[in-house]
Structure 1
Amino acid sequence: MFPLAESTPLFAIIAIVAVGGWVLTTWMRIKNGYPLDGAWGQAMYPKKNEEMVERVRLLSQENAQLRAELGSVKDRLATVERIVTDRGTLLDREIEELRGKAN
């Protein structure tokens, strides 16, 4: 039929096109959120087991606690900033009063 030497480039081109098409369709499925195919053509979805659900719940609780703690730290920092800036103004006023008394 076809001599082997003449058909080798044809087979290589067909193989490259097939692999490229497979890569392209897999990329498009992942990009658009479709499930991938398993070894026997069954759809593969991410597994949800109890351990994973519990881990997500614990991480969500920890996240909420850390956000609350961060809010209280921000409040305390604002108070410290107010104290520091108020004392600086008060100190300036006292220095000016002392200069006024000295004159």
Structure 2
Amino acid sequence: MGNLALLIPIMGMSIPLFAIWMKHREKVEQMRMSATAENTAERAAQYASHVQELEQRVRVLERIVTDQGYDTARQIEALRDNRQVENRRLQAENAAI
């Protein structure tokens, strides 16, 4: 009977401690979830920024390819290639003579 009389006050004092501990755990979990949500939002913003940057680069490339200047540059390179082939052919002919 003496032990039971001692347990009742101990139980009465432990209930508020348990409630405080539970509130603390709840706050920690909320903070963890908030941090996770912030990380997710930050990643989404980074991905959106990266996608936007890639879209801008594709637009620039499309403009270059559809621009007449690109066609002109390609023609110049083709002429350079033809000149190199012609020079090699002439060198081969001169070496054969």
What TM bracket, shorter-length normalisation? 0.5 to 0.7
Task: Give the Cα separation in 2 of the matches to 1:90 and 1:53.
Answer: 57
Q: Which residue of 1 aligns with 2:45?
A: 86
TM-score of the two chains, using structure 1 as the length reference: 0.50
Task: Give the Cα separation in 2 of the matches to 1:93 and 1:66.
Answer: 41
Q: Which residue of 2 aligns with 1:59?
A: 18
Task: Give the Cα separation in 2 of the matches to 1:50 and 1:71.
Answer: 33
Q: Which residue of 2 aligns with 1:11?
A: none
Asked if 1:76 is matched to 2:35, the reply is yes
Indicate the RMSD between aligned Cα atoms, in angstroms.
1.9
Task: Give the Cα separation in 2 of the matches to 1:70 and 1:91.
Answer: 31
Task: Give the Cα separation in 1 of the matches to 2:57 and 2:13.
Answer: 66
Higher helix proportion? 2
TM-score of the two chains, using structure 2 as the length reference: 0.53
Q: Greater RCO between the two (CA within 8 Å, min separation 6)?
A: 1
Give the share of equivalent positions with the same residue, in percent.
9
- Structure 2: give runs of 5+ residues left out of the alignment: 63-97
Equivalent position amino acid for 1:73 in 2: R
Task: Give the Cα separation in 2 of the matches to 1:82 and 1:63.
Answer: 29
Task: Give the Cα separation in 1 of the matches to 2:41 and 2:25.
Answer: 24
Tell me the matched-pair count.
58
